[in-house]
């Protein structure tokens, strides 16, 4: 029996760790699993718990409106020791590249508890893109003992940084396990989306923007492109707005009213998956959506300068277009109205995983010995 502490704080971490928590809890003879949320994205977490039917065992309230990275870091580092004291973990699991991820890994290191890093090895090789995530995940790779890489490419990044090969395992991304879980539950009727969007005659574009690097003029450029796209073609545009006011409220202020533009609050994961499945095009700066889109066979236009997920680009289902309205428009048109002789956008189920990541990670954790 291993005492395992999972620490998470944001929506993408919750979505990607939920199926792993379910997997570990399905084996109580092998694992005592404590789930701790730092509440870094307090408002966005509740719908994830409702969706997967799990609850954190401990909720820390580390989020403050308008918080700085340093004050958030200080609050998390200050709050977590009590959880380590009460749960006495033998292993700590963290996911991805958030401030919570880095703080929990750092604290585990101080306590000499081995860290399992889920979604290890993603890199753009530019420390400021995305900021602070690229640095967070690079530092977590120094701190972790077991590295669960989603793809061969991510594993190669870790090996190039000198991580011993026996500590690096390609498991696929747990986002695909989460996606399969929700698709299954939607299809067999055990899960109802909290919001629905009636089918439309028009082609449907779904857009989300939330990264720090996109704020300011860049967000303005993206919105200009979206306004033109909507004016030029018979489309409907649905935009779930991020609660960070520099993202969501700013996007709302940059998009004028239009009969086929729908701005919504952030959607619960099941509703968002159903919406992605009904979309003709996804336009985003999100990481997770770049993984989900190929699985759903939906083209994705990535409004960023670069991506740590080059697999979708190589497979021809994602294009990274930067922030110039003309490039964004050209990529959207090409994806929405492919030339008659162009190959159909292929469904690329296997790029980011096959849905067995959590099972593989459970086996790895069960047999992991040492520091
Ligand atoms: N997502 C969601 N509701 C929304 C928008 C996104 O549930 O309204 C999901 C999406 O399917 C993906 C995750 O949130 O699994 C992505 O989160 P985000 O874009 O905030 O973070 P990133 O993936 O860039 O780290």
Structural domains of the chain, with CATH: 2-172+356-367 (3.40.50.2000), 203-336 (3.40.50.2000)
Distance (Å) from CA 288 to ligand 1 centroid: 6
If pLDDT is split at 50, 70 and 90, which confidence band does 174 have?
A: very high
For 32, residues 6+ apart whose C-beta sits below 8 A from its C-beta are 1, 2, 3, 4
pLDDT tens for residues 250-274? 999 999 999 999 999 999 999 999 9
If pLDDT is split at 50, 70 and 90, which confidence band does 348 have?
A: low
The predicted pLDDT at position 370 comes to 73
Q: What is the mean pLDDT of residues 227-256?
A: 95
Q: What is the mean pLDDT of residues 22-35?
A: 98
Minimum-distance ligand 1 atom for the alpha carbon of 264: 8
Given a contact cutoff of 8 angstroms between Cβ atoms, the answer to whether 89 and 3 are in contact is yes
Distance (Å) from CA 41 to ligand 1 centroid: 12
Residue-averaged pLDDT of the chain: 95
Say yes or no: CB of residue 47 within 6 Å of ligand 1.
Answer: no
3-state secondary structure of 360: helix
pLDDT tens for residues 199-212? 999 999 999 999 99
If pLDDT is split at 50, 70 and 90, which confidence band does 349 have?
A: low
Which residue among 9, 10, 12 is best mutated to probe the pocket of ligand 1, counting the most ligand atoms within 8 A of its Cβ?
12
Please check the confidence at residue 42 and state whether its pLDDT lies above 90.
no
Minimum-distance ligand 1 atom for the alpha carbon of 286: 24
Given a contact cutoff of 8 angstroms between Cβ atoms, the answer to whether 72 and 99 are in contact is yes
- Which sign, positive or negative, has the C-alpha torsion 283, 289, 293, 294? positive
CA–CA dist 313, 291 (Å, integer):
11
For 46, residues 6+ apart whose C-beta sits below 8 A from its C-beta are none
pTM over 0.75: yes
If pLDDT is split at 50, 70 and 90, which confidence band does 338 have?
A: confident
The predicted pLDDT at position 43 comes to 85
The encoded tokens of residue 204 equal: 């449907």
The predicted pLDDT at position 65 comes to 85
Nearest by Cα to 35 from 12, 58, 13: 58
The predicted pLDDT at position 63 comes to 87
If pLDDT is split at 50, 70 and 90, which confidence band does 46 have?
A: very high
Distance (Å) from CA 209 to ligand 1 centroid: 10
Of all residues in the chain, the percent with pLDDT exceeding 90 is: 91
Please check the confidence at residue 83 and state whether its pLDDT lies above 90.
yes
């Amino acid at each position: 029996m291993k005492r395992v502490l999972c620490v998470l704080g944001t929506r993408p971490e919750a979505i990607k760790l939920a199926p792993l928590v379910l997997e570990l809890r399905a084996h109580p003879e092998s694992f005592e699993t404590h789930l701790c949320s730092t509440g870094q994205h307090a408002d966005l977490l509740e719908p994830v718990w409702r969706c997967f039917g799990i609850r954190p065992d401990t909720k820390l309230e580390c989020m403050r409106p308008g918080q700085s990275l340093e004050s958030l870091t200080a609050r998390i580092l200050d709050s977590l020791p009590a959880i380590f004291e009460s749960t006495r973990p033998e292993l700590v699991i963290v996911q991805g590249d958030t401030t919570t991820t880095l703080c929990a890994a750092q604290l585990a290191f101080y306590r000499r508890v081995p860290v399992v890093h889920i979604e290890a090895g993603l890199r753009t090789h530019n420390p400021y893109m995305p900021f602070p995530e690229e640095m967070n995940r690079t530092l977590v790779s120094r701190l972790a003992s077991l590295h669960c890489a989603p793809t061969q490419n991510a594993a190669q990044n870790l090996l190039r940084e000198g991580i011993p090969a026996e500590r690096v395992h390609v498991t696929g991304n747990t986002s695909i396990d989460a996606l399969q879980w929700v698709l299954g539950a939607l299809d067999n009727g055990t899960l109802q989306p909290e919001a629905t969007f009636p089918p439309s005659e028009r082609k449907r574009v779904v857009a989300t923007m939330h990264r720090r690097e996109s704020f300011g003029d860049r967000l303005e450029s993206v919105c200009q492109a979206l306004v033109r796209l909507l004016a030029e073609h018979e489309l409907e545009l649905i935009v779930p707005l991020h609660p960070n006011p520099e993202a969501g409220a700013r996007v709302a202020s940059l998009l004028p009213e239009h009969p086929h533009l729908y701005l919504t609050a952030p959607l619960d994961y099941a509703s968002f998956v159903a919406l992605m499945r009904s979309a003709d095009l996804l336009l985003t700066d999100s990481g997770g959506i770049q993984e989900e889109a190929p699985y759903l066979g939906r083209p994705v236009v990535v409004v960023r300068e670069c991506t740590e997920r080059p697999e979708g680009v190589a497979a021809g289902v994602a294009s990274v277009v930067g922030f110039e309205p003309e490039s964004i428009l050209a990529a959207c048109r090409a994806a929405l109205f492919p030339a008659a002789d162009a190959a159909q956008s292929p469904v690329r189920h296997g790029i980011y995983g096959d849905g067995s990541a959590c099972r593989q990670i459970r086996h790895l954790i069960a047999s992991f010995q040492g520091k």
